[in-house]
Amino acid sequence: MLTRRSLHSLQLLLLLCVSAGAMKFNLFNRNHSPKEGDVRLSGSTDGSEGRVEVYHEGRWGTVCDDNWDMAEAQVVCRQLNFPGAKSVIIGRQYQQAPGPIWLDDINCNGTEKHLVKCEFKSWGETDCSHKEDVGVLCQTGSTNETINDSTHSLDHSISLSDDLGQIFDSGNGCDFLILVRSPTGNIQENGTTEMAETKICAHKTILSQFPLFNASGGISNITVDVSSSCQLLFSSFIRYIYTRKIDVTLSSAICVHRMASTFGVKQLMEDVGRLFSKVIPDDSTFHNQVSIYNYAVETGDLILKETSVQFLAWNYQNLTRSPAWNNLPVELLGALLPRSDLVAADEYFVLQSVERWITEQKGSISLEIQAELLSHIRFPMIPAEKLYELESNSSLYSSHKNMYREKMLTAFQFNILLFSKLATNPKFSKDSADYQPRIYTAEPWSTAVGPSVNPFSTHRMYGYDSVLFRTPVHSSLIFKNNMINWQANIFKSQNECSRNGLFCESVPVARLAPNYNPDNMLYHNRVMTMCKGTVCQVLGFKGNLAPIATNGTSCLCSDEQYTYRVVVRPEYV
């Protein structure tokens, strides 16, 4: 603990640096120009909550709470790509609203796609004050609503942290001015965007630990441009520089991560980055997951990029049925298709989804890029009966006839020739991705294990879940009638392991065992851990066992809510 004398000495130390000059930083995620009738939520650090504002004639204005209920809130939240509204917020002060009150006595039926399509008085006609500005809290698609409000306290503190926090709070001896600016969205008379400004006075000696602030040279002030949603968090970020402590919510994680990345605060950036694994499963519309991928690409965060792509690969089927699918960036689709951990019913499903995505782009994707995407389809893995139908059922066959024919010929050869014959072809490589299965969940290659998902085929044997099923020894058509029997178990206690003559280092553990081991075949089988339809974890088997660490998944479910699915993946040796 610092004494009064040592605290005074530290304050004097902070006064040693003198400087002049200025520098500017831009931390905008993206600066999209608002359009007439756009809506936004302002005044809150939670992106799903805030004061409702609407854009009209170059200015953002608020909405009076007269006649406002859940129907109007639903329209706002859906216009902002949330699944819906959770509640109406009346009487909460979300900072001072700088613009006019645009809407009053608004009346929606709840199905409108834009708030301005609802009935209301004329623009700007109101008898309200800003104390009556309405707010909303939107749903985020979370399977567990408590996730969104959870606060994570990051503590990297040192012995002087609390005292340094007091110095920052008091502002005594500060010698480095930080001007934080964010756009209000309003257009000024000279045509420029109006900016809201906040001033923070800090100490050079503290900030000089991080060279990207340029606080150790002849600069006495900097200007930092941030998005409006991040402005309120910048003071907490600077205070972290002093104390090494900060509270981060999942909704504020991107803002704090961007600030830490911009100014080289590596430990904070890494720890906040780990929180993204908890927010990634949080949106059933997949808009959040795609946004996180775009953010990772923009900031060059390779770990975050891989985390988001892996989750999207595991949940590929849900992604293709989500509102985000048709607007998926081509770069993201190109990152998903080469992956062997992509989960889909079968390879024909993958082909159909890619063809549908290309068709939905309505000619904006060149033939060269289409061919590049289609080249990642593993035609030899398409079930043989569906290969025969491909020419007549494919929407892109005529546009890429030569490629389809070549790929289909390769696939037919794979299905009718023995491996020994295939190996004599110099163009054949068993290590090529074309001959490696993905994680296919359609029968016969996969089955669910657990009474909650498979009550008719799952049996309780001596207290544990057990499933018996059959597959061909390989996906090639020549092995269609050559079957292998599998037993899948989920052991949830050490006692269950012991009863089966096993020593399990941890539980639960999955076992997938064949009744015999075919020659020249290798099985890279997988077990999927799922929570309410979301794939949270995909693990490989070591031997016949795969330990399952549910507390290490990106989903928040109780042990009883997790379900499991095993997948058989045969390959030629």
pLDDT of residue 297: 87
Sign of CA dihedral 179, 183, 187, 190: positive
For 501-541, how does the pLDDT look when each residue is reduced to its tens digit (9 = 90+)? 888 888 889 999 999 989 889 999 999 999 888 998 999 99
For 98-132, how does the pLDDT look when each residue is reduced to its tens digit (9 = 90+)? 789 999 999 998 888 899 999 998 999 998 988 88
Tokens of 556: 């928040």
Could you tell me the pLDDT band of residue 464, with boundaries at 50, 70 and 90? low
pLDDT of residue 334: 97
Tell the residue number behind the tokens 């012991």, with chain if given: 498
Residue 153 has pLDDT above 50, yes or no: yes
Give the chain's mean pLDDT.
85
Amino acid at 159: S
Q: Are 101 and 130 in contact (CB under 8 A)?
A: yes
Residue 8 has pLDDT above 50, yes or no: no
- Other CB atoms within 10 A of residue 228 CB: 21
Q: Where in the chain is the domain with CATH 3.30.710.10?
A: 152-277
pLDDT of residue 30: 43
Q: Where in the chain is the domain with CATH 1.25.40?
A: 314-428
Residues 56-63: what's their mean pLDDT?
91
Q: Where in the chain is the domain with CATH 3.10.250.10?
A: 38-139
In whole angstroms, give the CA distance from residue 153 to residue 268.
11
pLDDT of residue 3: 45
Domain 38-139 class in CATH: alpha beta
Residue 327 has pLDDT above 50, yes or no: yes
Q: Are 143 and 534 in contact (CB under 8 A)?
A: yes
Tell which residue, 76, 72, 184, 52, has the closest CA to residue 130.
Answer: 52
Could you tell me the pLDDT band of residue 282, with boundaries at 50, 70 and 90? low
Q: Give the containing element (helix H, strand E) for 59.
A: strand 59-63
Residues 435-440: what's their mean pLDDT?
95
Residue 146 has pLDDT above 60, yes or no: no
What's the DSSP call for residue 269?
Answer: H
Q: Are 387 and 355 in contact (CB under 8 A)?
A: no
pLDDT of residue 553: 63
- Other CB atoms within 10 A of residue 443 CB: 12
Residue 7 has pLDDT above 70, yes or no: no
- Other CB atoms within 10 A of residue 218 CB: 10
Residues 362-378: what's their mean pLDDT?
95
Tell which residue, 561, 498, 573, has the closest CA to residue 532.
Answer: 561
In whole angstroms, give the CA distance from residue 266 to residue 257.
10
pLDDT of residue 432: 86
Environment class of 411 (CB within 10 Å of its CB; exposed 0-12, middle 13-18, buried 19+):
buried
Give the rounded percent of residues in the chain with a pLDDT score beyond 70. Answer: 88
Residue 147 has pLDDT above 50, yes or no: no
In whole angstroms, give the CA distance from residue 222 to residue 210.
14
Angle in degrees, 0-180, between the axes of helices 234-243 and 161-170, rounded to the nearest 10: 140
CATH of domain 314-428: 1.25.40
Which residue has better confidence, 453 or 521?
521
**Which residues partner with 151 through β-bridges?**
249
Task: Write down the pTM of the prediction.
Answer: 0.68
Phi, psi of 411 (to 5 degrees): -65, -40
CATH homologous superfamily for the domain 152-277 = Potassium Channel Kv1.1; Chain A (3.30.710.10)
For 174-192, how does the pLDDT look when each residue is reduced to its tens digit (9 = 90+)? 999 999 998 877 777 787 8
In whole angstroms, give the CA distance from residue 543 to residue 505.
14
Give the rounded percent of residues in the chain with a pLDDT score beyond 90. Answer: 48
Residue 456's alpha-carbon distances to 73, 279, 309, 448, 513, in angstroms, are: 44, 35, 35, 11, 20
